[in-house]
Amino acid sequence: MGDEKSESRLYSFWRLYKTQLALLTYKNFLLSKRNLKSTLFQVLSPVLLGLFLIYLQSLAMDSIDIKRVNTSILPISPIPKCSGAHCITIGVGLTNGYEPWVTYVLTYLSQHYDLQLGKDLQVLTEQDPVAFVDYLQVHYNETQTGVIFCTGKFNFTIPNITWAHSFDCDMGPAGQSLNMYSILMNNTNLPLLFLTNVANPMPMDLPTLAVKLALDNAIIGYHTGATAPAIELELQSFPMITSRYYAGYDVVSVEGAFWYFIPPMVTFVVVLEELVREKEYRLRQGLMVMGLSSTPYWHSWFATGLTFLFLSSNVVIASGCMYDFAFFRNTPYIILLSLFGFFGVAMLMLAFVLATVLSTTKAAYTVPTTQVSYAFLLLGLVLQMFMTNVVILYLLYSDAVPHWVVYVRTILELYPPFNFSKAFGDIARKAARRYSSQEHQWVSGPGYSYHDFVTPIDGSYQGVVYHAPSTIQTVFTMLENAAIFIGIAWLCDHVVAGNRGSGE
């Protein structure tokens, strides 16, 4: 008798669950139908994205026409002042005390270039040039340009070599003056090379050139008595041809992890908005009064989000093949679907977590003024810029990295876009074209197979050996992310006050 009652209760529960799940899912379908523009954008955004990537690809291909380009003329500007409270524009070292010409040069620089002696222009050492170099190494990034004036005989040694040598700055033809100096460049003045166009020549250190021009004019003024600059200088690089780097350039291989991160994030934003709106207007509370259970409520939204993710992922794959992107043509469908689908599921679960924490759509959009959902999207885009180069991600798995890097890597593995970028890069290395530093050209990959999907990735970069997990392990890590987010969402749904719309 008791078993019959248990079975009856179980049947009633299951029947109620199916009914509520069906009705809630249908309700979500009606919401999607009502917000038709948002729904179409979720599904069709990959098509627009593909068209944009084709445009970028065409720009790269149009840039490979070989032609001579005349470079611009750059005037040498006055010495720029170093920025910062304790920064020195020119740090000076003397080999053997002051000389009259050095005193004149320092005064000349101070008067003609608005450099305050003792602040912008400082003599750091007066006797030992080695001590001057040691000072710069200890106080790194505090001196914009270093100058050593040769003012007399001094001894120096070469590091790691047991050999000492004496050098006399006064050597030279009899009756003639020899004024010698050395400039120590600060390489941090140069632009970061990975932020410069590969078609441009190597960047030049214009502040150092300005210092050299000023020193030469000062020395000439010391000997001639002229106060106006004797030398005027302009700089121009040799004419050059346009770069051939973009011949064979594959925009999806290089930037795909950045751009294809967006379609799943659209579903993330839409679902988060709808969940918080229902909480704000206490629609869920009204349904609970009528007997709604939490389980079918969350399952209905999971089914809704999963449907849109499935549609969006297939549109991504279909449009990628239609646009003839090698990344999609040379990779099995199941692997691509697992990549985009599981990443979308992880982000969907993160949307559930945020929905349990945020109480109003205003909070979902402003904290206090920045939209949370769009903040995640924008922050993710910024981070994706640094994660498009998969080799950098591989180096995080090197045995040679410090212990703190291992902790950073562990934290990053809890962030689904990191795993997405790594898996995307795994596939792109073999499915699409990549730039070979050995051959100095773009080479086509052999295609991505199921064997590649399960094989760990071993390699080296500039002598650093790495052992990265296989792509399937990375995909499973995204599933682990989803499981963790599910647990957090369940906990917050039960413990956060007023989370189910019961009022504050």
Q: Kindly report, residue by residue over 300-314, the tens digit of the pLDDT.
A: 889 998 999 999 999
Give 503's pLDDT tier (boundaries 50, 70, 90).
very low
Q: What is the pTM of this model?
A: 0.64
Q: Look at residue 174 and tell me whether its pLDDT is greater than 90.
A: no
Across 457-480, average pLDDT = 89
Nearest to 205 by CA among 74, 94, 350: 74
Q: Find the angle CA(337)-CA(48)-CA(277) to the nearest 5 degrees.
A: 75
Q: Please report, for residues 135, 192, 207, 220, 386, the alpha-carbon distance to residue 115 in angstroms, rounded to integers and kept in the order given.
A: 21, 27, 14, 19, 39
Overall average pLDDT of the 51-60 stretch: 82
Residue-wise pLDDT tens digits, 1-12: 555 555 566 556
| Arithmetic mean of pLDDT, 31-37 | 83
What pLDDT does 65 receive? 53
| Pick from 363-377, 449-463, 467-481: least confident | 363-377
What is the torsional sign of CA 10, 16, 22, 27? Answer: negative
User: Is the pLDDT at 132 greater than 50, yes or no?
Assistant: yes
* Mean pLDDT score, 329-357: 92
Residue 142: CA atoms inside 13 Å, Cβ hemisphere, count? Answer: 14
pLDDT tier for residue 195 given thresholds of 50, 70 and 90: very low
CA-CA distance, 327 to 445, in Å (whole number)? Answer: 9
Region 470-474 average pLDDT: 94
> What is the length of the chain?
504
Which tens digits make up the pLDDT trace of 256-284?
888 888 888 888 888 888 888 877 777 76
Per-chain mean pLDDT for the chain: 79
* CA torsion through residues 268, 272, 274, 275, sign: positive
Which pLDDT score is estimated for 365?
Answer: 45
pLDDT greater than 50 at residue 368: no
